[in-house]
Amino acid sequence: MFGKILIANRGEIACRIARTAQRMGVATVMVYSDADAAALHVRGAPQAIRLGASPAAASYLDGAKVIAAALASGAQAVHPGYGFLSENADFAQACAAAGLTFIGPSVDAIRMMGSKSAAKKLMASHAVPLVPGYYGEDQNPALLAAAAVDMGFPVLIKASAGGGGRGMRVVRAAAEFAPALASAQRESLSAFADARVLLEKYIERPRHIEVQIFGDQHGNLVHLFERDCSLQRRHQKVIEEAPALNLTPAQRATLYAAATAAGRAVNYVGAGTVEFVVAPDGAIYFIEMNTRLQVEHPVTEAITGLDLVEWQLRVAAGEPLPLAQSAIGQRGHAIEVRVYAEDPAQDFRPSVGQIVHARLPAASAQVRVETGVASGDSVSPWYDAMVAKLIVQAENRPSALRLMAHTLRETELAGVNSNLVYLRRIIEHPDYAAGDFTTHFAEEQKAQLLPTPGAPPNRVLLLAVAAVLRGRDQAAMTASPWALADSFRLNHTRCERLSFRHGEALINLTLHQHRSGPRVGLPDSSQVELRAVPAPDGRFQLDIGAQQIHARVVQRGELLEIFDAGERWVLGLIDPLQRTDEDEIATGSLLAPMPGAITAVLVAVGDVVRRGQPLLVLEAMKIEHTITAPCDGTVSELYFLQGQQVTQEGAELVRVAPAIPPPAAAV
Ligand code: ADP
């Protein structure tokens, strides 16, 4: 076994690999980019080496730097994780040349399977069922168009070097073919530096089933059953489970036989995944093989009780597979969800910025949490926005679904948007629960999974008011008594108006101070007593009538994120007193309060503006922030255009040169 390995990855998978290695007594070395200098995978590491600047090409994708780091650290082997260099045959070869063991299959196997076309030709000669298609080298557009017509529409154009659903286009009629081909080639060239495509018959409403295989250097090869990864969005997996539903014993036998045949065809060593689509008529077709550990490997670990990273290390070190096929069993049902920092309401745009609060579920024998972030960490624009995976395991699928819904309700992320609520809606969807879903589910059920947000219920508004009052109390404790000069505190008989923004809507509430305590006038004209006390876990205990609720409010400036009953509400407090920051007035520079998108630029350089005049509108977490002139003056710099993303909190947006005050009159 190796004494030390280098983990050439980041985030949850780097942490996960290190855990197994350390359990086996194998020392680990992490690598990082500038953006990740303080990331979770680095913070806890006994040894970490800087690779370079933040772009992946300058760090995690730079094989020469990774190899130099491994040699400098005295590591004997490199674990590539998934993504980045994991399926890069040249990197695997360079590792070998440098005397390092690449923890993965042989260079030849990676090369062979790296091209979808080459893999298909190989599979065809080994009796693995293929989707009908064109896998040829000749990329003449006229020939491709003719092949598509021969196959019959719909046809799927795929990037030969593809991955992650990129470079893929569904074509439903001959007239659409040429533009779809051009756009698939463009995308493929920019993503994979390779414009070659293949064509496949597009199978309508299929399921995606894949088989985990494992081989060793002694000619042994086994399968570890299948995973169902049909729950996808734009051809990318969102939820995975094992075992797959609704497969007949004959279908299972076909899948396992085809997968192991695929592995044997390339003398496969290490962990690999053979992917298939299953058509509605039950026909099974090979689509590709991934020559690495998959994101979704934990569901296989859950049902088999095995540690696939341990197997990878043993096999790479030359040991035989720990178990024979007959000794590998499966039990119960496991489900994994991928938690992304993204905004489902904005077409799943990645949501960058600081995670100001992260509450992840407690791990147990049935709940596994794989994360690469903690409270206070940032989601950077440089890499994939997956921040965690939640995996549950139970004796059967209904129990696993119940547990996953509960686990998702227990998970909170504030400061960035996430797909947590979206995931829970899928898990709780009756068709998903009934096992009635295909790869088209997310698209077909969009309306139910992405409901237009309604008005926040009264309990959420009460929580918002409670948080505002808590904020004032905290300010009063730390600031001077003069900070208390608000109508609410000074005059107990007066009523105060509190306004919040929720998306486009404005919500006006009234706050009345009675002898018995505060009362809130709600939009439905009712008035209720506010009975909210901070609970020891940082949440609020809110009493409404006989009902007691526990919910969290995370407040950052004027932005309130309320986590209640598995839903997240974002409200913006409208401060009636315009803030004037002395520093800002002095320099006239205006900074982004948080990352977001510039939705409007209301002035041009050279414009003369008055203090308080709106200059820009920044939208973050569905709330618009209007950036106003801190003083009278002239707009001297504009750093962003309409539609641009501001990725850094505190980035300078616009600068106003203060007007020179007229000379004071002589006295
Ligand atoms: P990538 O490598 O980009 O992930 P894959 O070939 O693995 O691409 O396909 C990704 C997904 O696209 C599959 O999981 C499946 O949902 C869908 N898909 C692929 N091939 C077909 C096909 N021939 N017909 C229908 N859907 C397909």
Read off the pLDDT of residues 73-132 as tens digits, 9 standing for 90 and up: 999 999 999 999 999 999 999 999 999 999 999 999 999 998 888 888 888 888 788 998
The first and second tokens of residue 271, run together, are 């962990």
The pLDDT value given to residue 483:
43
Instruction: Determine the CATH number of domain 589-658.
Output: 2.40.50.100
- Minimum-distance ligand 1 atom for the alpha carbon of 116: 6
Q: Between 1.10.150.530, 1.10.10.60, 3.30.700.30, 1.10.510.10, what CATH number should domain 458-574 receive?
A: 3.30.700.30
Question: Each residue of 521-555: pLDDT tens digit?
Answer: 999 999 999 999 988 888 999 999 899 999 999 99
Confidence of residue 627 (pLDDT cuts 50, 70, 90): confident
Q: Is the CB of 202 under 6 A from ligand 1?
A: yes
Atom of ligand 1 nearest to the CA of 166: 3
Residue 489 has pLDDT above 60, yes or no: no
Question: 232-449: what fold?
Answer: D-amino Acid Aminotransferase; Chain A, domain 1 (3.30.470)
Q: Residue 649 — pLDDT band, cuts 50, 70, 90? A: confident
Phi-psi region of 624 (alpha: psi -120 to 50; beta: other; left: phi over 0): beta
CATH 3.30.1490.20 placement within the chain? 132-201
pLDDT(584) > 60: no
Q: Write the residue with the smallest CA distance to atom 19 of ligand 1.
A: 287
Evaluate if residue 53 carries a pLDDT over 90.
yes
Q: Whose CA is nearest to atom 14 of ligand 1?
A: 208
Measured from the CB, is residue 87 less than 6 Å from ligand 1?
no
Residue with tokens 């295909």: 438
Kindly state the average pLDDT of the residues 163-178. Answer: 92
For the Cβ of 154 lying below 6 angstroms from any atom of ligand 1, the answer is: no
Q: Quick one: which of 610, 578, 615 has its CA closest to 600?
A: 615
- In sequence order, which residues have a C-beta less than 8 Å from that of residue 643 and are 6 or more positions away? 597, 598, 599
Q: How far does residue 149's CA lie from ligand 1's centre (Å)?
A: 20
Specify the pLDDT at position 481.
47
How many percent of the chain have pLDDT more than 90?
A: 74
Superfamily (CATH) of domain 132-201 = ATP-grasp fold, A domain (3.30.1490.20)
Contacts of 592 (CB under 8 A, 6+ apart): 618, 646, 648, 649, 650, 651, 652, 653
The pLDDT of 649-655, averaged and rounded, is 85
Residue 491 has what pLDDT?
44
Cβ of 291 closer than 6 Å to ligand 1, yes or no, is no
pLDDT bucket at 430, cuts 50 / 70 / 90: very high
- Residue identifier of the C-alpha nearest atom 25 of ligand 1: 203
Q: What's the CA-to-centroid distance between 158 and ligand 1, angstroms?
A: 8
Report CA(266)–ligand 1 centroid distance (Å): 22
Q: What is the pLDDT of residues 234-251, one digit of tens each?
A: 999 999 999 999 999 999
- Decide: 163 in ligand 1 pocket, CB within 6 A: yes
> What 3-state class would DSSP assign to 255?
helix
Question: Is the shortest distance between the CB of 162 and ligand 1 below 6 Å?
Answer: yes
CA of 246 to the centre of ligand 1 (A): 20
**Mean pLDDT across 622-635:** 83
Active site residues: 292
Best residue among 287, 289, 438, 444 to mutate for probing ligand 1's pocket (most ligand atoms within 8 Å of CB) is 287
The boundaries of every CATH 2.40.50.100 domain in the chain are 589-658
| Atom 10 (ligand 1) nearest CA | 235
CB 8 within 8 A of CB 85: yes
Residue with tokens 């990082």: 32
Give the pLDDT score at 197: 95
Task: For residue 171, report the distance from its CA to the centre of ligand 1, in Å.
Answer: 14
Q: Which candidate, 470, 380, 373, 460, places its Cα nearest to that of 413?
A: 373
For residue 479, what pLDDT band results from cuts at 50, 70 and 90? low
Ligand 1 pocket check for 275: Cβ under 6 Å: yes
CATH classification (class only), 4-103: alpha beta
Q: For ligand 1, what atom is nearest to the CA of residue 133?
A: 23
Instruction: CATH 3.40.50.20 in the chain: give the residue spans.
Output: 4-103
**207 CA distance to ligand 1 middle (Å):** 10
- pLDDT above 50 (res 582): no
Verify whether ligand 1 is closer than 6 Å to residue 206 (CB atom): yes
Assign 589 a pLDDT band (cuts: 50, 70, 90): low
Question: Given pLDDT bands bounded at 50, 70 and 90, which one contains residue 578?
Answer: very low
Model confidence over 443-472: pLDDT tens digits?
A: 999 999 997 778 999 999 999 999 999 988
Cα–Cα dist 184/173, whole Å: 16
**Cα(348) to centroid(ligand 1), Å:** 20
User: For the segment 337-351, what is each residue's pLDDT rounded down to a tens digit?
Assistant: 999 999 998 899 999
Q: How does residue 658 score in pLDDT terms, banded at 50, 70 and 90?
A: confident
DSSP class of 206: -
Q: Residue 257: which region, alpha, beta or left (left: phi > 0; alpha: psi -120 to 50)?
A: alpha
pLDDT band (50, 70, 90) for residue 583? very low
Question: Which ligand 1 atom sits nearest the alpha carbon of residue 200?
Answer: 23
Q: Could you tell me which residues come within 8 angstroms of residue 182 by beta carbon, excluding any fewer than 6 positions away?
A: none
pLDDT of residue 422: 97
pLDDT score for 580: 43
**Closest ligand 1 atom, CA of 287?**
6
Gyration radius of the chain's alpha carbons: 28
pLDDT of 661 reads: 60
